């Protein structure tokens, strides 16, 4: 039987080094207690934040110091939990860390409302009296920008206190999908029992036996169907919380509130959707090519993940994949490339799936730790691309920490997805230039096309879905399971017109965890568009463009997202980068079609 291993069976070199944060859980407890005691220190500044320059600097530095410790405590607990989501000890530590973070935000909730009592001129005068305040210039500009949407100190404290509650539906969904749901075991064509998991589902849909793919697809979505009302209730209440919080902050819509945080105009969202809809013909062509390659009368939803090459593609062990990724990053310079290689040797990555491990992949870590990457590596080309993707996030954090103080060390998702996708594009180019094996080349082209399909088209479909779902709630229309199914099925039919749409695919919205972070997914689509434009520029202009890109990475959140991307030579206020990405997608379709002939 093909089964998922226990964590104890995995070699240490493929397990992330969380002991570099806290050697033991007892050390975590000590850090937790220490920072919990310091949270009260913030409250003594309430009512005095802007009394004078020295006080303002003190409160900002104290807040940063506390939050740095809270973030590290939280990251450790969360990553330990994700190693085995059924482990109740680490579930408890994560819950305590979440409460700690909420307490810290609540204790500091008076800071921004008091800052907003300043004028820009008054802050400039404080900077003259205390030059170290100059560091906070952009931060204060952002705080003042949000004044119309910031409530009184008492209301801000209440909203901070309620953050655990308003975010609870996402926690419920994660526990349901990662810990409690049990997907069936199916028999493959060789008679071997295969356990379906959240991590291997799409990989199983790449198997060459069509009957097996259908069996996996239907069994997987039948399990989701058994949870249909529970998930619909969770999502309904998540959307309701988004809408209520937006109203509490004087926004007309939840989408406006979500995009105003990073200062991204809603026109950017609408331009993405309109541009992608204008280019559905390319996606339809991709689907038709897939139908022809598979030699089937109708392309079914269980065929959608099958490669255009018609097979599962070459097996690729992790160590070889890591070598390909490091080599591909040469255009970004020796420093970038060597730091990635060093990180891979220093156990940044938790490589393989194990029993109970959180599905998917992410990059984590804090200002005071090394990066950490969670993966569920499946020995295939897609997993290699995921490794390149997450390393892009990690290196973005590293380059930002090199240059920026803590206040600018994070960055908006809008720009984060650029760094990850630049790595993917560089990997594609490197492999097509250096690998001669025609089957491997086909697999690389197919992976690139699938990445664009699933990132630019699919995430835009998701963006349409959550926009429409929130609009329904704002119009007072109930979000029932049937209504959500109908909404999703209609969008799927538009995007995949040449394919057969069935009742199971109408439930696909249920398996998307990102919907519990409202208006998040569109940034994957804008991110890949910007990344492909940046990569084209690097290939065309060489070191100058590469240095502009690295400068973008070093800026963190020192500027607003659209301005940061202009540093790298991309203007996301227009459709040009999206059009360019879709043009590249079409060109790569031509290349693979020629190889297949």
Phi, psi angle pair for 195, to nearest 5°: -80, 125
What secondary structure does DSSP assign to 338-382, as a single string? HHHHHHHHTT-EEEE--TTPPSS-EEE--TTS--EEEEEE-SSHH
The tokens 């030059």 sit on which residue? Answer: 131
CA distance 376 to 390: 12
261, 251 in Cβ contact below 8 A?
A: no
79, 16 in Cβ contact below 8 A?
A: yes
pLDDT of residue 165: 83
CA distance 569 to 546: 11
CA distance 279 to 272: 11
Catalytic residues: 390
Q: What are the residue ranges spanned by the domains of the chain?
A: 7-166, 183-346+380-597
Fold (CATH) for 7-166: Butyryl-CoA Dehydrogenase, subunit A; domain 3 (1.20.140)
How far is C-alpha 160 from the geometric centre of its chain's CA atoms?
A: 23
Domains 7-166 and 183-346+380-597 share a fold: no
Which residues pair with residue 350 across a beta bridge? 374
Fold (CATH) for 183-346+380-597: 1.10.1370
pLDDT of residue 584: 92
pLDDT in tens, the chain (597 residues): 457 899 999 999 999 999 999 999 999 999 999 999 999 999 999 999 999 999 999 999 999 999 999 999 999 999 999 999 999 999 999 999 999 999 999 999 999 999 999 999 999 999 999 999 999 999 999 999 999 998 887 888 888 888 878 888 988 898 898 888 999 999 999 999 999 988 789 889 989 899 999 999 999 999 999 999 999 999 999 999 999 999 999 999 999 999 999 999 999 999 999 999 999 999 999 999 999 989 999 999 999 999 888 766 789 999 999 999 999 999 999 999 999 999 999 999 999 999 999 988 999 999 999 999 999 999 989 899 999 999 999 999 999 999 999 999 998 989 998 999 999 999 999 999 999 998 899 989 998 999 899 999 999 999 999 999 999 999 999 999 999 999 999 999 999 999 999 999 999 999 999 999 999 999 999 999 999 999 999 999 999 999 999 999 999 999 999 999 999 999 999 999 999 999 999 999 999 998 887
Hey, CA dihedral for 512, 481, 283, 215, is it positive or negative?
positive
Residues 122-140: b if buried by 16+ CB within 10 A, e if exposed: ebeebbeeeeebebbeebb
496, 283 in Cβ contact below 8 A?
A: yes
pLDDT of residue 1: 42
Structure tokens belonging to residue 226: 């058994």
């Amino acid at each position: 039987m093909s089964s998922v291993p226990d964590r104890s069976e995995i070699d240490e070199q493929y397990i992330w080094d969380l002991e570099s944060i806290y050697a033991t859980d007892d050390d975590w407890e000590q850090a937790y207690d220490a920072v919990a005691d310091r949270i009260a220190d913030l409250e003594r500044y309430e009512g005095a934040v802007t009394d004078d320059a020295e006080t303002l600097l003190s409160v900002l530095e104290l807040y940063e110091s506390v939050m740095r410790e809270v973030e590290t405590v939280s990251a450790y607990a969360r990553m330990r939990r994700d190693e085995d989501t059924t482990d109740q000890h680490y579930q408890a530590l994560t819950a305590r860390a979440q409460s700690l973070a909420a307490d810290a935000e609540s204790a500091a909730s008076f800071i921004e409302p008091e800052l907003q009592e300043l004028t820009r001129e008054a802050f400039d005068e404080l900077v003259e009296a205390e030059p170290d305040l100059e560091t906070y210039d952009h931060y204060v500009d952002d705080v003042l920008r949000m004044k119309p949407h910031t409530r009184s100190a008492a209301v801000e404290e209440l909203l901070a206190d309620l953050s655990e509650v308003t975010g609870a539906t996402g926690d419920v969904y994660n526990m349901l999908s990662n810990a409690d749901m049990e997907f069936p075991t199916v028999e493959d064509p060789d008679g071997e029992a295969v356990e379906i998991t959240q991590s291997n589902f799409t990989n199983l849909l790449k198997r060459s036996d069509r009957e097996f793919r259908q069996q996996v697809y239907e069994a997987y979505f039948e399990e989701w169907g058994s949870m249909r009302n529970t998930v619909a209730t969770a999502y309904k209440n998540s959307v309701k919380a988004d809408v209520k919080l937006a109203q509490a902050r004087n926004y007309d819509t939840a989408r406006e509130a979500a995009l105003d945080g990073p200062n991204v105009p809603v026109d950017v969202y609408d331009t993405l959707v309109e541009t992608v809809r204008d280019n559905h013909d390319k996606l339809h062509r991709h689907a038709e090519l897939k139908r022809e390659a598979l030699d089937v009368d109708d392309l079914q939803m269980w065929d959608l993940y099958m490669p255009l090459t018609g097979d599962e593609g070459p097996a690729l062990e992790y160590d070889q994949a890591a070598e390909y990724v490091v080599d591909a990053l040469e255009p970004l310079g020796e420093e970038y490339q060597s730091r990635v290689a060093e990180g891979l040797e220093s156990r940044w990555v938790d490589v393989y799936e194990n029993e109970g491990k959180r599905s998917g992949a992410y990059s984590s870590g804090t200002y005071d730790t090394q990066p950490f990457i969670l993966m569920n590596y499946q020995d295939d080309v897609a997993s290699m691309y995921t490794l390149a993707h997450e390393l892009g996030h990690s290196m973005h954090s590293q380059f930002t920490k090199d240059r920026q103080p803590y206040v600018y060390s994070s960055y908006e998702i809008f720009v984060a997805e650029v760094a990850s996708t630049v790595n993917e594009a560089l990997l594609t180019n490197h492999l097509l230039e250096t690998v001669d094996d025609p089957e491997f080349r086909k697999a690389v082209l197919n992976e690139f096309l699938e990445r664009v399909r699933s990132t630019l088209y699919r995430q835009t479909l998701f963006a349409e879905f959550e926009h429409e779902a929130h609009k329904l709630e704002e119009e007072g229309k109930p979000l029932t399971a049937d209504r959500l199914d109908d909404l999703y099925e209609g969008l799927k039919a538009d995007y995949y017109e040449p394919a057969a749409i069935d009742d199971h695919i109408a439930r696909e919205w249920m398996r998307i965890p990102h919907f519990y972070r409202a208006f998040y997914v569109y940034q994957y689509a804008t991110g890949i568009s910007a990344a492909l434009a940046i990569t084209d520029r690097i290939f065309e202009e060489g070191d100058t463009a590469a240095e502009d890109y690295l400068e973008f990475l070093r800026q963190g959140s020192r500027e607003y997202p659209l301005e940061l991307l202009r540093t790298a030579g991309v203007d996301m206020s227009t459709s040009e980068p999206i059009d360019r990405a879709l043009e590249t997608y079409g060109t790569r379709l031509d290349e693979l079609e020629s190889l297949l002939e």
